Amino acid sequence: MLIHIGLTQESSIEDYWGSLDTTGSEHIVKKYISRVRFEQLDRYFRCTEPWSDDDPTPRSTFDRVDKLAEHIRLTCRKLYNPGTHLAVDETIERFMGRAPEIVNIPSKPTPEGFKIWVLANEGYILDWLWHARGDKAGPVDLDETFTKEEGFSKTQAVVLDLLTQRDAESNEPLYPPGKHIVWLDNLFTSVKLLTRLRGLSIRGTGTVRTTKTEREIKGGGEGDILAHAAGRKKVKVAAEQISHRLADLKLTHAAQIEWGTLYAVTSKDGQVMEFAWKDANMVLFMSTIDDGK
């Protein structure tokens, strides 16, 4: 990345306080301010207007870039016609500065920065939702219809929010019925979500999570029986996620199953195909891409 200060450009801020610039002369900036002092001031530079006396409430980091972000979002939509296969996932945009919205997840390839919920096609980002921390933790500006009226978790509602956006001018769906397939990982996938997407004529598939922490296991139920059978105290199978028969294969019989073996059932409502497939480990997933006939 090239950085401009004045009429010259260097690959890093530190180079402007080096001995010579690209023409063999000293950078003029070092005559007026030290690098440390410049970096101290640079931390407080803003690309947005300051708070007004009429609205002194501090704005979030995302509010500061809202106009720019919306311009990029609309431009992305205009310049790209998405194909069949879409994906929704979380990502972290690296940021090492100071901001209350920063997350730190050591297990991620980019552990520290801003968490963003992203809709993409073939590596091209179509839309996104910021992620907030603190009292209002979760996706920013999420359509609460999906959580308060339909009972979806915030994570699952992200998928529905991103896929049901409409064109600002025509009010037509950006992702019309019968055209797209969305791919998910086990953070999002459930029978309820895939059934809802099927009602929108958007097909979907994704891996399924069957384990929860001991804190989430309190209250008993069928999941605890399977947990004791597997000898794992922190395991609970969520009934709405996948068939207990398939989950039991993963929890208690995976070692005896041959590689490449595939098991399949339909969900209780008959809308979703559920699978258990033996790879190196037992993989659980579900899909509405095929009706199984």
pLDDT mean by block of 10 residues, the chain; 293 residues: 58 75 66 85 69 64 85 89 95 86 88 94 93 85 94 95 92 93 94 95 91 40 36 45 86 91 91 93 92 58
Q: Indicate the helix (H) or strand (E) that contains 192.
A: helix 191-199
The answer as to whether 55 is a domain residue is: no
Residues 136 and 35 in one domain: no
Q: What is the DSSP string of 272-292?
A: -EEEEEESSSEEEEEESS---
Domain identity same for 178 and 66: yes
CA atoms lying within 13 Å on the CB side of residue 6: 11
Residues 192 and 237 in one domain: no
Whether 50 is covered by a domain: the verdict is no
> Is 280 among the domain residues?
yes
Say yes or no: 217 and 289 in one domain.
yes
Two tokens, residue 69: 């972000």
Nearest to 185 by CA among 210, 208, 162: 208
If asked whether residues 91 and 221 sit together in one domain, one would say no
Full residue range of the structural domain in which residue 27 is found? 3-42
My answer on whether 182 and 222 are in the same domain is no
In terms of domains, do 22 and 76 share one? no
> Does one domain contain both 165 and 236?
no
Residues listed for the chain = 293
Whether residue 191 sits in one domain with residue 71: yes
Domain count, the chain: 3
pTM above 0.75, yes or no: no
Q: Are 43 and 56 in contact (CB under 8 A)?
A: no
Six-digit token string for 129: 């939702």
Q: Which residues contact 21 (CB under 8 A, 6 or more apart)?
A: 8, 10, 27
**In terms of domains, do 214 and 232 share one?**
yes
**Residue 96 C-alpha from the chain's centroid:** 20
User: Which H or E element spans position 217?
Assistant: helix 214-217
